Amino acid sequence: MDAEQIAQKARKSISRFCFEECKSYCCRKGYLILTMLEAGLIGAEKRKELEEQGILKSNEKGGYSLYLGTPEKPCPHLSDYKCTIHRKYNRPDACKKFPIFIEGKVVKLSTRCLAVKTGMMYPYIAKWISMGYAVVESDGMYDSDFYNVPLIKA
């Protein structure tokens, strides 16, 4: 089993917790970094509306930032604490990978995820470490520009 397969198993293990306990906090608070292609998945009409409201903004890297600032204005694909595009292949990478991001030999866990904060990743951390990966926690969200805080190094 490789690191990404372990990450997939870890993500699946917290899915019920996400909508029953956490109430999809990550989709209701913060921001989501999107590529131009991913921003296109929102749909032209919805995209224009979100841009006019200042919720979707272009960034200096040629992508977009989707603001998920309040529970009243969550991700446009969140309904009753459940993601309506979760099973779609062409959803944004940040949505597919959250709260675990693997870059090279580093596994990054988002501390904005309540499952990470409550220690639900510990069984998987041990597996990554045994494979030679460094595991770090980050308060960054959905972006490769994490603030890396070493959690456990291989």
Residue-wise pLDDT for 16-60, tens only, equals 898 788 888 888 877 777 888 888 777 777 788 888 888 888 888
Map tokens 């309904």 to a residue.
Answer: 79
> What DSSP string describes 53-78?
TTSEEE-TTSSEEEE--BTTB--TTE
For 70-118, what is each residue's pLDDT tens digit?
667 778 778 888 888 777 777 778 788 888 999 899 999 988 889 999 9
**Is the pTM higher than 0.85?**
no
Question: What are the structural domain ranges in the chain?
Answer: 3-152
Sequence-separated (6 or more) residues with CB below 8 Å from residue 68:
27, 28, 29, 30, 31, 32, 74, 75
Region class of 43: left (phi > 0), else alpha (psi between -120 and 50), else beta: left
